[in-house]
Amino acid sequence: MAERIIGVTDLQRNFKAVIDEVAERGVPYVLTRGSRPEAALLPYEEYLQLRNLQEKQVIFDLDQLLDRMRERTKERGEDEVVADVARARSEVGRP
């Protein structure tokens, strides 16, 4: 369904109708202030799906990072890796 664009002032005047349209009909809205997009209203289920996708992306990115780290450190002993981590932490001021 195509999104609708509404200014903040119009949203204030038509709040109940807009919320009903979003919740009951699944119509997403882009909220503008001074003709600039500022926020979006979307059905709660779509919000949950978006959050879930973002969490999956973070996990995927972390897995990719861990795979790269394993590949780069596979020839090094655990003591060397631990020493590198300790050195890096001291450089950034962390214990």
Look-up of token digits 């214990």: 95
pLDDT of 95 reads 66
pLDDT of 1 reads 73
Residues 80 and 60 in one domain: yes
Residues 38 and 53 in one domain: no
pLDDT of 36 reads 96
| 82: pLDDT strictly greater than 90 | no
Residues 23 and 58 in one domain: no
Residues 66 and 81 in one domain: yes
Query: How many domains is the chain partitioned into structurally?
Result: 2
Runs of H (alpha helix) within the chain: 8-13, 15-25, 44-73, 78-91
Residues 38 and 16 in one domain: yes
Reported as a single tens digit per residue, the pLDDT across 36-73 is: 999 999 999 999 999 999 999 989 988 898 888 888 87
Residues 86 and 52 in one domain: yes
Domain containing 72: what range? 46-91
Over residues 74-85, the mean pLDDT reads 83
